[in-house]
Each structure stands twice: as structure tokens, then as C-alpha cells.
Structure 1
Amino acid sequence: MAKKIDTSKIERIRQASVEIISECGITGSSVAAIAQRAGVSAGYLYRHYPSKVKLVNDLLNDALNSITERIDALIGENDRIDRIVSGIIGFIFESASLNPYRLKFQIMLLNDFSTEIDPAIREQIRQIGETLIRKGHENGSVRKNVSIEDFYIALVGIPMQYLAARYKFGFGANDWDIAAEIEKITRISMCAIK
């Protein structure tokens, strides 16, 4: 008989992983520390994630999947590229304000070449990019030679790196006007694809 999975323990493992990796980096974190913070045994963690790499990749893929799902939803709601860009930047900024550990974790992993991105998510990113390019060309809101990489940088790279700079250097730590910041980064991101 299969053992029942305790979803609350799995969620505690995932949250502890995000926190510890955000604090210590990937190489500075250990399965033992993650298990201890989650309040589970290392053996329990290994039953669900055979290695730290598998756990980290699963968390990264979940994060990328939530971003791509939001972009898909925005594409379905809007034909205007600037509204799609603003919507995803708003999603990233609001997510960061709700859980700074998770955003720091995502920034770290997106810049770490030891993590793997699921091929299905890569394909989803490619398809979203092609859709955005087509929409942008149809309404004349993006330049003719814009690429999928350009869109990825505009939608994810610029806002993530902006937030990384705010966290790392404490820029504007006391004057966070999220609406104004979303508007500003949207203008910067649109410059990358216009």
C-alpha cells in the first residue's frame, strides 16, 4: 500500500529550500539544513526529492511556470504589448513584495548555470515569445528584428535585475512606490523591444 503524501510537509520543504538557498546560495545550502528548517527528516526529504539538484530544479520550474502562465493569461486579455509587459512586471513586483525570499531565490537560479530548465518550459517560453512577436508586429508596437530573447529580457530579465539591485544595494529601500516602479520599469522594458 502506498504511503499518503503529507502536502503540508512538502510545502514546508519547498519554503525552507527557498529561504535557505536565498540566505546561503545553492552551494552553501544543504539537504540537512533544509530538512531541519522544514521540520522533517532528511530521509523524508530524499523520499520526495532524490537530490538537492532535483529539488532546486523543481522549484525553478514551478517559478518559471507561474510566470509563463501569467504571461499566457495577459496575452489572452490584451492585444497591446505595453499592457502585457506592464502586467508581467506588476506580477513580478507584487510577488516580490509578498515573498522577497522567493524572488531572491528565482534571481539566483536564473543566473546559475548549474540549474536546468525543463524542456517543456523552454518550449512554452519560445511559443510565448513567438506569439508576442507576432502581436507586436501586427500592431506595430515592436521593432521588426525583435527576438524571443529580447522579449524574455524585457519581460523577466530587466524587472528581476532591477529588483536584485534594490535588494542587494538597498536602493530606495524606504520609498517603494510599487505603481510608480512598475510604470518606470515598463518604460525601460519597452525600450528593449521597440
Structure 2
Amino acid sequence: MSSTRPLRADARRNYERLLAEARAVFGESGIDASLEEIARRAGVGIGTLYRHFPSREVLLEALLGARFDAQAEAAEALLGEDDPLAALRTFARGMLGTATTFRGLSAATADALNDETSDLYRACRGMRSAAARLVARAQESGQLRADLAPDEVLLMVHAAGWASEHAGDPERLLDLVFAGLCSR
């Protein structure tokens, strides 16, 4: 929503219906699903959808923003864990779960890591910051390769999510990713 003033009751209902239908349509067809279909199923015109959500990324951020924030908070809590690599793996599992919420989301989020103008980039800022600290702790402990940048770790998690959309168990793929990321 672009306005900070409260929505009228009918506009609020439209907003909530659009989110509910977007969740359902993206769940069925992935994030490249038709926005027109979302509007139709919500019982509104496409103009109403675009008034609330000017882009597909804004819609995705509205659907997933709270989950991204919760993962950032969880990552902060994991910074106090005794085993830095286990903490990073726990965070990565949670991130993988979010990245595979909708088909195509892993690729879109990975793309957003390199686009500071992206709504998803901004929505992931807290998660990225916490992930960077988790990566640094695991590197300082000697458990994680020192030559890795935090965004490379995030990209590998998203790669496991993308690959699991095509074939494979996401947890197994994440285990294989970590096998390659760990110090020898």
C-alpha cells in the first residue's frame, strides 16, 4: 500500500481478498501466475490490484514481509547459539522454507539480491544483515570456508530451493550445499 492513511473498510476488504487470492494463485501456479486471475478471483478489477500493489514484487513483499522479518528475528536469536555452523544451518533451513513457499520465488529472491531497487531486496535487508553475522561467526569459528561472501551463501540456499522445484528434496540439497561450504 502506498498511502500511510488508513484504508476505507471496502478498500481494506479488497486488500485482504487480494492477498488471500494471491496466496492461493501463487500456491497453485507459482509467482509468475496471472495478476488478472488474482484480481478476478478476488472479485475486483485489475486497476484495484495495481492501486494496492503497483508491481508483482510489492505483492510478494506484502505476502512474505512478515515472514522475512520473523526470519531476521530468528537469525538474531541464533547469534547466541554455541555452535555457529549449526546456527547458520538452522537459519538456512528457515530461509529455504520461505524461498520455496511459491514456485519461482527462489529465483526471484536470488535475482533481488543484486538489485537494490527491488522491493524484495529492501524486504530482505534484515535477513541479509543477520545472515552476514551468522556467516561471519561460522567463518571465525573455522567451520565455514573463509573465502565465502554472505551473499554467496544466500545464493547457494536459493539455488537449492530453485533446484528442488525441478527435482530433489530441498533438505538434501541444502545438506549438499553445506558440505561444499564447510571448511575442510
Partner residue, 1:152? 154
Q: Give 1:130-169 correspondences, 5 Å limit.
A: 130-154=132-156, 156-166=157-167
Whether 1:16 and 2:21 are equivalent positions in the alignment is yes
Q: Percent identity?
A: 19
Equivalents in 2 of 1:135, 1:18: separation in Å? 35
Q: CA RMSD in A?
A: 3.9
Provide the rounded CA distance (Å) in 2 between the counterparts of 1:183 and 1:72.
25
Distance 1:19 1:8, change over 3 A: same
Q: Specify the alignment match of 1:176 in structure 2.
A: none
Q: Could you tell me which residue of structure 1 aligns to residue 180 of structure 2?
A: 191
> What is the TM-score with the length of structure 2 in the denominator?
0.65
Instruction: Go from structure 1 to structure 2 and tell me whether the alpha carbon gap of 1:3 and 1:118 turns closer, same or farther (over 3 Å shift).
Output: same
Task: Give the one of 48, 52, 56 matched to 2:52.
Answer: 48
Give matches, 1:167-186, under 5 Å.
Answer: 171=168, 182=171, 185-186=174-175
Note if contact 1:130-1:148 (Cα within 8 Å) is conserved in structure 2: yes
The answer to whether 1:4 aligns with 2:9 is yes
For residue 83 of structure 2, what is the aligned residue in structure 1?
80
Supply the distance in 2 between the matched residues of 1:6 and 1:29 (Cα, whole angstroms). 21
Q: TM-score, normalised by structure 1?
A: 0.62
Q: Could you report, residue by residue, the CA deviation over 1:110-157 in whole angstroms, capped at 9, with x for unpaired residues?
A: 255698145644543442243123312332211222211232134x32
Residue aligning to 2:105: 106
Against the structure 1 CA distance between its residues 92 and 80, is the aligned structure 2 distance closer, same or farther, given a 3 Å change threshold? same
Contact 1:57–1:116 under 8 Å retained in 2: no
